[in-house]
Amino acid sequence: MIGDLLRLDGRTIVVAGAGGGGIGTAVCTAAAELGANVVGLDAEAAALAAAEAAVPGPFHGVIVDVRRKDEVDAAFADAIAAFGSVDGLVHVVGGQRPHHWQPADDFPLADLDDVLDLNLRSALLTSQAAARAMTTAGQGGSIVHIASVAAFFAAPYSLAYSAAKAALISLTRTTAAEWGPRDIRVNAVATGTIRTPHSRGNDTADQARDAVLALGRRGTPRELAGAVMFLLSDLAGFVTGQALTVDGGSTIRPSYLGPDNVPVFMEDGDLRRRLLQDQPRRTS
* Sign for the pseudo-dihedral over CA of 120, 121, 122, 123: positive
List phi, psi (to 5°) of 90.
-120, 115
Cα angle vertex 62, ends 57, 64, to 5°? 145
First-to-final CA distance of the chain: 36
CA distances from 160 to 90, 100, 103, 169 (A): 22, 8, 10, 14
Cα angle vertex 152, ends 146, 155, to 5°? 100
Other Cβ atoms within 10 Å of 105 Cβ, number: 5
Provide the β-strand partners of residue 190. 147, 245
Q: What is the DSSP string of 87-148?
A: -EEEE------GGG---STT--HHHHHHHHIIIIIHHHHHHHHHHHHHHHHT--EEEEEEEE
Q: Torsion-angle region of residue 35: left (phi > 0), alpha (psi -120 to 50) or beta?
A: left
Spatial contact of 129 and 66, defined as CB atoms under 8 Å apart: no
Provide the β-strand partners of residue 187. 144
256 is catalytic: no
Find the catalytic residue in 59, 83, 161, 179: 161
Angstrom distance (rounded) from CA 76 to CA 41: 9
List residues with catalytic annotation: 161
